[in-house]
Copies of this chain bind each other. A is one copy, B any other.
Amino acid sequence: MKETFGGPPPAPGALAAKVRALAPSMTRSMQRVAEAVAGDPAGCAALTVTGLAELTGTSEATVVRTARLLGYPGYRDLRLALAGLAAQQQSGRAPAITTDIAVDDPIADVVAKLAYDEQQTLADTAAALDTTQLGAAVTALAAARRVDVYGVGASGLVAQDLTQKLLRIGLIAHAHSDPHLAVTNAVQLRSGDVALAITHSGSTGDVIEPLRAAFERGATTVAITGRPDSAVTQYADHVLTTSIARETELRPAAMSSRTSQLLVVDCLFVGVAQRTYETAAPALSASYEALAHRHRR
């Protein structure tokens, strides 16, 4: 005797519509409940039967009756559906954020915006990355006798990140952030070695110089830059392009360029690890073992 409406038993999202459709056949009290539910799913999902009954100035029995009318076995199930609906609304609202960060943004917005921005940067970078160039760079790295990586400032950290990882799979790699030492080392390179420059602007002299030295000695050179037409590329055999996000006052370019550069560097690393799997896999686990005792129990 329960089913008043032959419709689909559990309504997923079209709850508001169902409320409107069924409203005429509802009694006054039930309408109040239905209204509350349709108006604030999230809020109602947090309430018990008793709570919702009080909120709407009705009784538990009425709430349950309303839930039944809406097609659920009882209030419990309506509540679950409500929670789902709330979550959907919540997630659907997300893309509405403007990505500029203002001085007075609450901290939660800052988190959301930064995460969103960096996700966007990753997607852009992946889409724009030239896999041919990447493949060529990987090939060169995998076969290299020695790898030198140049980067200063924020890019210097990316250079170190790459170096750390390459070392873990048994390659001989060095990161240089001191321009003088970088050049000094670069002139030692020769054919078969790889020099890799990381610079967002593509015009950082301190990084271009060592790459040039390496280039002139016959080493294979790779540039990771946001400007594929900049000065650094003239000494680069392979150019890997990172994405350029517009920067704002509170969000310096260093932030997104770093994200972008790291993705490229990760791709290089995984590419090389694949190519040298035989030696890379044991080296990786060895380095893991070596560190284990550094972690307290």
Name the residue among A4, A8, A10 with the largest chain B CB count within 10 angstroms: A10
Q: Are A277 and B103 in contact (CB under 8 A)?
A: yes
Q: Are A123 and B7 in contact (CB under 8 A)?
A: yes
CB distance from A169 to the nearest CB of B (A): 10
Q: Are B123 and A5 in contact (CB under 8 A)?
A: yes
State how many copies of this chain the complex holds.
Answer: 2
Q: Which residue of chain B has its CB nearest to the CB of A295?
A: B203
Cα(A136)–Cα(B61), bound, Å: 45
Which residues of the other chain, B, contact A19 by a CB distance below 8 angstroms? none
Interface string of A1-17 (1 = CB under 8 A from B): 11111011111110000
Q: Are A94 and B10 in contact (CB under 8 A)?
A: yes
Quick one: which of A213-234 are within 8 Å of B by CB?
A: 231
Which residues of the other chain, B, contact A181 by a CB distance below 8 angstroms? none
Q: Are A111 and B129 in contact (CB under 8 A)?
A: yes
Which residues of the other chain, B, contact A251 by a CB distance below 8 angstroms? 270
Residues of A within 8 A of B (CB): 1-5, 7-13, 45, 79-81, 83-88, 90-92, 94-95, 101, 103-105, 107-108, 110-112, 114-115, 118-120, 122-127, 129, 131, 134-135, 138, 153-154, 157, 160-161, 164-165, 168, 201, 203-206, 208, 231, 249-252, 254-255, 258-259, 262-263, 266-267, 270-271, 273-274, 277, 281, 284, 291, 294-297
